[in-house]
Amino acid sequence: MSTPATGTPGQQGAPLLDVRDLVVHHGQLRALSGISLRVYPGEVYAIIGANGAGKSTLLRTIAGLHHPTEGQILYDGRDVTGMRPEKRATAGIGMVPEGRRLFPSLTLEENLKVGATFARSGPWTIERVYDLFPWMKERRGQKTAQMSGGEQQSVAIGRALVANPRVLLLDELSLGLAPVIVQRIYGMLPQILSSGVTVLLVEQDVSQALRVATHLQCLLEGHSTLEGRPADVTAEQVEAAYFGMGERSEAAESTAVQSAAGQSTPEQSAAEGSA
């Protein structure tokens, strides 16, 4: 496929993450059908969509936990499509997986130490995580299984940060958490961004995603239905893209919504670029 033209304003320079026409199958099921996205340094790129839209599959494929049947993943200009997940992690693709996935038989500090074992050099240390989440210091000897969901989520974020990732994949931070806790956790995002980490997040909670995102893409049943900056899309467009309302035909709908949003599919933008 032709290289997409530069997307929305604010997406400048070389993309840190460049996903091209990703197709992923779970057995017979086609979970992702040709998803493309470009994440530029300093962005908060949000993938929204309902349950089963393929959001987590997309993030897990970028992290290397699923293998795409088609398409490419470029990280910092390098093709990492066939790279093992642990190699991607040490190269700087960090991930906070859905459901936290802490090591239950390890203490809080041991969880962070595992995260720091193969860390790149950078600003994040276990001490700095303790500065970000001051409650952790005195509970570092505790097993994480006894902690609340919000606390566990914070540990999972800390475990990913101490590896000093360049791009951090956040999978459903809000899952199973009270709104107040979700607010508090997303409140940490500016501090994470200011340390130079780029964020690609997946979120079912659309209003939360819209608050923090600099760029968003909506998935529906493995297809992209909307892409753009939060300021450029209306609530109605997001709603239509999220629930798949309007035209029934997915392909037609996808094009319609994207055109309505002033956005363009890569093919269109290439055409526009040459026009």
The amino acid occupying position 194 is S
| Residue 126 engages another protein in binding (rule: CB under 8 A) | no
Burial of 82 (0-12, 13-18, 19+ CB in 10 A): exposed
- Using CB under 8 A, pick the residue from 3, 14, 82, 86 that binds another protein: 86
CB 203 within 8 A of CB 193: no
Contact criterion met (CB below 8 Å) for 188 and 157: yes
Asked whether position 158 contacts another protein by CB under 8 A, the answer is no
Contacts of 131 (CB under 8 A, 6+ apart): none
Residue 220 forms beta bridges with which residues? 223
Residue 228: HSE in the Cβ half-sphere, 13 Å Cα cutoff: 20
Residue of 26, 67, 78, 84 that binds another protein (CB under 8 A) = 84
Please identify which residue in 104, 123, 176, 196 interacts with another protein, judged by CB under 8 A.
104
Measured from the CB atom, the residue of 169 and 261 that comes closer to another protein is 169
Instruction: Read off the tokens for 136.
Output: 């952790």
Q: Which is nearer to another protein, 49 or 165 (CB)?
A: 165
With contacts defined by CB under 8 A, name the span among 80-88, 125-133, 245-253, 260-268 that binds another protein. Answer: 80-88
Instruction: Quote the tokens at residue 219.
Output: 């998935």
Q: Which is nearer to another protein, 192 or 218 (CB)?
A: 192
Residue 106 binding another protein, by CB under 8 A: yes
Q: Binding of another protein at residue 79 (CB under 8 A)?
A: no
Neighbours of 146 (CB within 10 A): 10
Binding-site member from 5, 23, 50, 65 for another protein (CB under 8 A): 65
**Quick one: which segment of 21-29, 130-138, 156-164, 219-227 binds another protein (CB under 8 A)?**
156-164
* Min CB(147)–another protein separation in Å: 13
Q: Which of 5, 23, 114, 270 binds another protein (CB under 8 A)?
A: 114
Identity of the amino acid at 128: R
78 near another protein, judged by CB under 8 A: no
Q: What is the DSSP letter of 107?
A: B
Which residue has 């390098």 as its token pair?
78
Q: Does 149 bind another protein (CB under 8 A)?
A: no
CA 275 to CA 270: how far, in whole Å?
Answer: 9
Residues 6+ apart with CB under 8 A from 199: 43, 44, 45, 167, 168, 170, 189, 192, 193
Q: Among residues 49, 94, 228, 266, which is the contact residue for another protein, using CB under 8 A? A: 94
Three-state DSSP class for 198?
Answer: strand
Residue number with CB closer to another protein (56 or 214): 56
Compute the distance between CA of residue 156 and CA of residue 148 in angstroms, rounded to an integer.
12
- Report if residue 90 touches another protein, rule: CB under 8 A: yes
Q: Does residue 83 touch another protein according to CB under 8 A?
A: no
Number of residues that bind another protein (CB under 8 A): 29
Give the footprint of another protein on this chain (CB under 8 A).
63-65, 84-86, 89-90, 94-95, 97, 101-106, 110-111, 113-115, 117-119, 145, 159-160, 163
